[in-house]
Copies of this chain bind each other. A is one copy, B any other.
Amino acid sequence: MIKILVTGGTIDKQYNPLNGELIFSKTSVEEMLAQSRNTVETELEVLMLKDSLEMQDQDREMLSMACNKSQETKIVITHGTDTMVESAQEIAAHLATDKTVVLLGAMVPYQFKQSDALFNLGCAISAVQILKPGVYVTMNGQVFDHKEVVKNRAIGEFVART
């Protein structure tokens, strides 16, 4: 059983035809899992639907607590890319030693034809079942330990921290 915590981010942005803006209305993660023909048992919890640039300390605390409260030891988190690493570090600072947490997001929302959402979700779902306890980020096909990754905003890619 995998716990999936939803926090928002680009992956879940939807188009509002009335004003032409990208907004949050409801998560598409269940739709993604259905398209993926996923049969791993999952329990979905929507903690918030936020652009990660607008996440506050208290949001990250709530996320960290949700990881610790979770009965499942395998946890996948959908998250905005801009502060994904900060959240990973906050979670790691407080995490019980038996838990594996994998964060993912998308550079292009799932609702777009050219979205990387499903690929990234696949990376996270399989990684969380294999990795030893710890906090990780799966973006761009790579599996990063939370201490070793940074988002390079100029190119829009996650890279090894130098």
Distance to closest chain B CB from A62 (angstroms): 23
Distance to closest chain B CB from A29 (angstroms): 12
When all copies of this chain in the complex are counted, the total is: 4
Cα A143 to Cα B126 with chains together (Å):
6
Asked if A157 and B39 make an inter-chain contact with CB atoms under 8 angstroms apart, the answer reads yes
- A153-B111 contact, Cβ under 8 Å, with A123-B126, A142-B40: no
Q: Tell whether A68 is near chain B: CB-to-CB under 8 Å.
A: no
Asked if B123 and A17 make an inter-chain contact with CB atoms under 8 angstroms apart, the answer reads no
For chain A, which range describes its interface: under 10, 10 to 19, 20 to 34, or 35 or more residues? 35 or more
Cα A60 to Cα B141 with chains together (Å):
27
Contact residues, A34-55 vs B (CB, 8 A)? 35-40, 51
Asked if A20 and B18 make an inter-chain contact with CB atoms under 8 angstroms apart, the answer reads no
Select from chain B the residue with minimum beta-carbon distance to A38: B141
Asked if B111 and A126 make an inter-chain contact with CB atoms under 8 angstroms apart, the answer reads no
Distance to closest chain B CB from A87 (angstroms): 17
User: Pick the contact of A18 from B111, B131, B153 — CB < 8 Å?
Assistant: B153
Asked if A115 and B35 make an inter-chain contact with CB atoms under 8 angstroms apart, the answer reads yes
Asked if A129 and B143 make an inter-chain contact with CB atoms under 8 angstroms apart, the answer reads yes
Q: Tell whether A88 is near chain B: CB-to-CB under 8 Å.
A: no
Cα A155 to Cα B149 with chains together (Å):
40
Cα A123 to Cα B118 with chains together (Å):
10
Chain B residues in 8 Å Cβ range of A139: 37
Cα A105 to Cα B123 with chains together (Å):
15
Cα A15 to Cα B35 with chains together (Å):
13
Chain B residues in 8 Å Cβ range of A126: 122-124, 126-127, 138, 141, 143
